[in-house]
C-alpha cells in the first residue's frame, strides 16, 4: 500500500539548508493501522503530507497503491488523492458556510461525483452525529468537529486514511471515543497512518513507529 524509499526532504534555512529526511525508507501493508509517534519537530506532519502528495519530497520515491505520487503533477495528484486518500488534519478545517452534512459531501463534489446525502447521513450516524446534519460548524464542539472531519475523510471510501494528531486538544473520554472510531475503520479494512505525540494511543494501532533524527524505528505496540 505504501512504499517510501530514499526519501530526502530539505528546507531552506538562511543560506544553508535544513535536511529533515536524508534517505528515509518505510513501507506499509494494506490494512495496517500504523501509528507514528515522535517529538515535536521530528518531521511527522511533513512525512504525512508527503505521503498524501501535499508536500513534494526533495528526492526519493513515494508509492501509494503502486503509483509514484512524487512524480505526479498537481492535477493528477489531486485526482489521485480524492479517490484514494482521506485526510483528517489536526484542525478540522470545516467550511463554516456549509452544514455538517454539506461538509461531508464536499469531497464527493470535488471528486466530480454528485453529492450523496444518504451516504453522508449514514457516515454522520456512524461517527455518532445523527441529528446534527444541519448544524453549522460554528455550533459544534471540538470533538464533534473532529467527528465531522472523520466522516468527511471517509465519504469517498478511500483505501488509505492519513490522520494528523486527530485527538489533540480533546479530553480523555472524547479521545477514547475518537480512537475507537479509528479502530472500527481499521477493522473494516481501511489502512490508517496516524501521527501523534501521544504514545498512549499505541494500544489502538497494529504497528507503532517512532520518528527520531530523520528516521523511523519499529516499536512493539
Ligand X SMILES: Nc1ncnc2c1ncn2[C@@H]1O[C@H](COP(=O)(O)OP(=O)(O)OP(=O)(O)O)[C@@H](O)[C@H]1O
User: Which residue ranges make up the site for ligand X (CB under 6 A)?
Assistant: 11, 20, 38, 40-46, 197
- Separation of alpha carbons 172 and 177, rounded Å: 9
What does the alpha-carbon distance between residue 134 and residue 183 come to, in Å, rounded to a whole number? 27
Q: Taking the complex as a whole, how short is the minimal distance between the CB of residue 142 and ligand X, in angstroms? A: 18
What is the Cα–Cα distance from 215 to 204, expressed in whole angstroms? 22
Report the nearest approach of ligand X to the CB of residue 66 (Å). 26
Task: Using the minimum distance from each CB to ligand X, give the nearer residue, 33 or 89.
Answer: 89
CB of 151 to ligand X, least distance (A): 24
Instruction: Kindly state the smallest distance separating residue 70's Cβ from ligand X, in Å.
Output: 17
DSSP state of 122: H
183, 194 Cβ separation under 8 angstroms: no
Nearer to ligand X, 44 or 152 (CB): 44
Comparing CB distances to ligand X, the nearer of 9 and 147 is 9
Q: How far is the CB of 43 from ligand X (least distance, A)?
A: 4
User: How far is the C-alpha of 121 from the C-alpha of 131, rounded, in Å?
Assistant: 9
Cell of 191: 489502512
Nearer to ligand X, 90 or 116 (CB): 90
**45 vs 82 by CB, closer to ligand X:** 45
Please name every residue paired with 5 in a beta bridge, in sequence order, or none if there are none.
Answer: 61
Show Cβ contacts of residue 110 under 8 Å, excluding neighbours closer than 6 positions. 82
For residues 46 and 191, which CB has a smaller minimum distance to ligand X in the complex?
A: 46
CA dist list (Å): 193 to 86, 96, 208, 211: 11, 27, 10, 13
Give the pairing type, strands 191-195 and 207-212: unpaired
**Sign of the four-CA dihedral 109, 115, 119, 124:** positive
As measured in angstroms, the least distance from the Cβ of 69 to ligand X is 18
Is residue 44 within 8 Å of residue 24, measured between CB atoms?
no
Amino acid at each position: 500500500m505504501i512504499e517510501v524509499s530514499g526519501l530526502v526532504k530539505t528546507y531552506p534555512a538562511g543560506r544553508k539548508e535544513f535536511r529533515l529526511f536524508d534517505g528515509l525508507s518505510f513501507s506499509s501493508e494494506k490494512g495496517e493501522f500504523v501509528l507514528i509517534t515522535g517529538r515535536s519537530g521530528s518531521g511527522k506532519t511533513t512525512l504525512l503530507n508527503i505521503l498524501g502528495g501535499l508536500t513534494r519530497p526533495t528526492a526519493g520515491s513515494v508509492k501509494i497503491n503502486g503509483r509514484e505520487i512524487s512524480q505526479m503533477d498537481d492535477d493528477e495528484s489531486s485526482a489521485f488523492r480524492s479517490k484514494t486518500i482521506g485526510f483528517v488534519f489536526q484542525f478540522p478545517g470545516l467550511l463554516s458556510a456549509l452544514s455538517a452534512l454539506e461538509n461531508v459531501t464536499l469531497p464527493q463534489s470535488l471528486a466530480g461525483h454528485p453529492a450523496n446525502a444518504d451516504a453522508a447521513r449514514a457516515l454522520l450516524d456512524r461517527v455518532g452525529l445523527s441529528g446534527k446534519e444541519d448544524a453549522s460548524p460554528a455550533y459544534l464542539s471540538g470533538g464533534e468537529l473532529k467527528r465531522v472531519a472523520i466522516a468527511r475523510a471517509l465519504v469517498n471510501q478511500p483505501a488509505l486514511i492519513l490522520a494528523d494528531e486527530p485527538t489533540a486538544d480533546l479530553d480523555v473520554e472524547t479521545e477514547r471515543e475518537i480512537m475507537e472510531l479509528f479502530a472500527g475503520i481499521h477493522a473494516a479494512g481501511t489502512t490508517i497512518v496516524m501521527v501523534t505525540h501521544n504514545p498512549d494511543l499505541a494500544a489502538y494501532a497494529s504497528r507503532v513507529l517512532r520518528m527520531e533524527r530523520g528516521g523511523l524505528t519499529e516499536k512493539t505496540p
